[in-house]
Amino acid sequence: MDGAGRVNVARSVRSALAPLGSLREARLQNALERRRLSGAGATVWALLRGLLSGRPLPLQCAIFADPSGMAAAAAAAADSDVIYLDGVRTLPLLRHLRRRRPGARIVVDADDLMSRRYGELIDRKLPLSLGYLEARVPGPVARIVKSRAVARLVLGYERLALRHAERELLALADRVVLLNREEAGMLRTEADRLPARTRAAVLAIPPVVGSAARRRAPWSSPGAPLRAVFIGTDALTQNRLTIDFLLDLWQRERFPMPLVIYGRQRRPERRVPNVTWAGYVKDISDVYAPGSVLVTPSFLSGGIKTKVLEGFAHGVPVVGNSVTFEGLDLPDYPLCLDDRDALAAFLRAPANHSGAIARALKMEEECLRRDHAGPVFAARWADAVFGRRGIDPASEPRARSGFQGGAPSASRSRARATGGINDNSSDAGFAPAAGE
């Protein structure tokens, strides 16, 4: 399960697109995978050209700027009615396609508003994570890049360049899709402020919760003890922040309810009374056994927290804060606890909050049915691909604050071909980008 968040979303999108017509996929390799001088040269030239033109290109885009790779991907999509691009990192290919096929319908699945994520890392003075690239970067280079001084420079450059990249998506794509309604509103606000009219419509399509996961067994059973659970690897910054917060909380409050932490961990296990490290689990239902409460206060905004939907799907109460539930349609959700004392009071005696738990479980089930069911997800992606609105924009107002961080020739029911182009993967077609 570690790092599977984006992979699962990408698979779901592919499943939603497949019934719309013949689906052909192409995979872009980055310069670190190709390990050729031509790829390194293309990366350096793309970065220099971006700086000289006043359009800085993010490093995560520049490594996919090899002309031969883009030409091969463009050839694979040559006769497609619709082209789907997976991630902001496909921006060099988007430029290439738009120059050669100005009338093509192109949908970019941006996932999260990455400039916002980098802004939060800078504001909170958090370390740089190389993510899926870490295994491909030589150790000495990785240590230099992640040193405090160099990391600050890299993060600052990426935030600036990602802002330019996201504006360019608005200008070149026909649809830009995000997971999070809040972030879709921010991007629309940015589009409204740009001097030139943008081409793209910005849609929010929350992730689907597959039928295989929706096993809503009774939450509590006679004799089942209550326990708090968290699942996630500390290799991801957002998980590391939550794990440290929970350990400090259990250390200070000495809760009688045990905390069990699942997932592969890189750091030495910290010993705290009533906290158990359970490691990797093969069967995810073991995490959400009767009596479990998923406790996952979050400290990095952006996207949709897939572990939250996973907890909903398995029928357990999910306790978090406003960041945890951002982008989900859950007004007045009773287990959204921003106040630390309120959170501690709940964890000290959850049985005293049975009414709130019952309301939360009901809201979770309604949320899944309304926004995350398979047919809803498929219909929204069909609308995004074929030109109708994915979600009524009236339900997604513009952000109140500033920006942080040709038609198909076939019928609407079936297209001749849909090209899917992904920026990187360990399996054909999908990028293990962020995960939860």
Q: Give me the residues paired with residue 40 across strands.
A: none
Cα distance between residue 312 and residue 240, in whole Å: 22
Check if the beta carbon of residue 105 is closer than 8 Å to that of residue 82: yes
Contact 51, 58 (CB under 8 A): no
Q: Is the pLDDT of residue 61 over 90?
A: yes
- Distance between CA atoms of 274 and 257, rounded to whole angstroms? 7
pLDDT score of 435: 31
Least confident among 3-7, 143-147, 377-381: 3-7
Q: What pLDDT score does 309 carry?
A: 94
What confidence tens digit (pLDDT) does each residue in 204-230 have?
999 998 754 555 566 765 567 899 999
Residue identified by tokens 């600050």 is 152
Confidence at residue 300, expressed as pLDDT on a 0 to 100 scale = 93
- CA 239 → CA 312, 321, 424, distances in Å? 18, 14, 23
Weakest mean pLDDT among 132-136, 265-269, 342-346: 132-136
pLDDT at position 36 over 80: no
For residue 317, CA distances in Å to 85, 214, 244, 357, 373 come to 35, 14, 21, 6, 19
The DSSP bridge pattern shows strands 318-319 and 175-178 to be: unpaired
pLDDT in tens, 225-280: 899 999 999 988 999 999 999 999 999 999 999 999 999 999 999 999 999 999 99
Which tokens in the block code for residue 392? 């009524």
Sheet strand arrangement including 227-231 = 275-279, 259-262, 227-231, 292-295, 318-319
**pLDDT confidence of residue 233:** 93
**Angle, helices 5-17/306-313, rounded to nearest 10 degrees:** 70
Q: Which residue has the tokens 């959850």?
A: 350
pLDDT at 412 over 50: no
Structure tokens at 193: 């402020």
Higher pLDDT, 149 or 340: 340
The stretch 297-301 carries a mean pLDDT of: 95
- Determine the pLDDT at residue 230: 98
* pTM > 0.95: yes or no: no
Topology classification of domain 227-371: Rossmann fold (3.40.50)
- Sorted by where each begins, the domain ranges of the chain are 5-208+373-422, 227-371
Residue 429's pLDDT is 30
The count of residues in the chain is 436
Please provide the average confidence, as pLDDT, over all residues in the chain: 84
The pLDDT score that the predictor gives to residue 292 is 95
Q: What is the pLDDT of residue 75?
A: 92
Q: Which residues of 385-409 are buried (b: 16+ CB within 10 A; e: fewer)?
A: bbeeebbebeebeebeeebbbeebe
What are the tens digits of pLDDT across the range 152-186? 999 999 999 999 999 999 999 999 999 999 999 99
User: What per-residue confidence (pLDDT) applies to 52?
Assistant: 93
- In this prediction, residue 401 carries a pLDDT of 40
Residue 47 has pLDDT above 90, yes or no: yes
pLDDT tens for residues 354-411?
Answer: 999 999 999 999 999 999 999 999 999 999 998 654 344 334 444 444 333 332 323 3
Q: What is the pLDDT of residue 223?
A: 60
83-97 pLDDT, tens digit per residue, is 999 999 999 999 999
CA distance 8 to 271: 32
| 138 pLDDT higher than 60 | yes
For tokens 């082209």, the residue is 83
- So what's the pLDDT on residue 315? 93
Residue 416 has pLDDT above 60, yes or no: no
pLDDT at 79 over 90: no
What's the confidence (pLDDT) of residue 27?
87
* pLDDT of 410: 31
